[in-house]
Amino acid sequence: MHGEVRIERCGPIALLVFDHEKRRNAITVDMWGAIPEAVRAVQEDPDTRVVIMRGAGSEAFVSGADISEFEKTRTGDAGREYDAMTARAFAALQGLDKPLIASIHGFCIGGGAAIALMADLRYAADDARFAVPPARLGLGYHTAGIRALIRAVGFSETARLLFTGHRIAAEEARRIGLVNEVFVKDVLDENVDELAHTIAGNAPLTIRSAKITLQELAKLEAERDTARIAESIERCYQSDDFKEGARAFMEKRKPRFKGE
């Protein structure tokens, strides 16, 4: 059993589930390789408006990369291919133009924390534990991962997490900005699901435009595609949803958005 990344659909919500319960959902090479295709599937599904990432079972979101594979996968040419594979996985998650929520329980360590940082919103159970431990493994940490951590918690907290490798609890993660909110574990899924359905009920083209703008603003200024932002905004104004939103407001009713 090398783990799997599977998709579960519930109306406008898609769950992206990391399932390797025997090893606390540690990410294997097979799982890294499966992430881009899973993201492509939810990206191309017109019925999916919001994506939630979670770990299978009750012990972990993702406890990190599977260390049992390191001797074969993290040295020499194999190491370079492994880095390229993880980069493709992160790029796929980061490039998704639908809202991506991380629902985090238990261990969220190393590669798990890096995956969670690709989400737009992160919500944690009160049993969640976070760490970025490359200093304890002798690994180099790539610029993209450090940049994502800086965006979430700032330079000083990024330095502390990287230099110490310490684990932090859910409430501390909330305090430093690593997660948006912490819930009692038994109600985490319920609250994240309610949030996802709230987002899914809003105008899809507006949500997409906001997501595209956030993606571009996260880039270095010289790399930003301002034309992509402008096109997404113009598409909103030209849409039937814009007309429906205005009409519903005037008629004092809930709008029925179709994403067109």
Give the residue from 67, 69, 6, 70 showing the smallest Cα distance to 34.
6
- pTM greater than the 0.75 cutoff: yes
Gap between the terminal Cα atoms of the chain: 42
Residue 199 confidence class, pLDDT cut points 50, 70, 90 = very high
pLDDT at 140: 81
Distance CA 70, CA 82 (A): 10
Distance CA 104, CA 108 (A): 7
Give percent of the chain with pLDDT exceeding 70: 96
User: Mean pLDDT across the stretch 43-63?
Assistant: 96
Decide if pLDDT at 75 tops 70: no
Return the amino acid letter for 16. Answer: L
Quick: pLDDT tens for 178-192. Answer: 999 999 999 999 999
Right CATH for 4-199 from 2.70.180.20, 3.90.226.10, 1.10.3470.10, 3.40.228.10:
3.90.226.10
Quick: pLDDT tens for 127-169. Answer: 999 999 988 888 788 888 899 999 999 999 999 999 999 999 9
Q: Cβ–Cβ contacts within 10 Å for residue 7, how many? A: 16
DSSP string of 94-148, one letter each residue: HH--S-EEEEE-BEEETHHHHHHTTSSEEEEETT-EEE--GGGTT----HHHHHH
- Average confidence score pLDDT of the chain: 93
Instruction: Give the CA distances from residue 235 to residues 12, 199, 204, 214, 239, in Å, rounded to whole numbers and listed in that order.
Output: 21, 19, 11, 17, 6
Tokens read off for 159: 């330095």
CA atoms within 13 A on the CB side of 40: 7
Return the amino acid letter for 168. Answer: I
Distance CA 88, CA 75 (A): 19
Instruction: Give the CA distances from residue 50 to residues 99, 110, 182, 188, in Å, rounded to whole numbers and listed in that order.
Output: 5, 25, 20, 17
DSSP string of 146-185, one letter each residue: HHHHHHHH-HHHHHHHHHH---EEHHHHHHHTSSSEEE-H
Listed by start position, the domains of the chain span 4-199, 202-251
Give the residue from 119, 117, 114 showing the smallest Cα distance to 101.
119
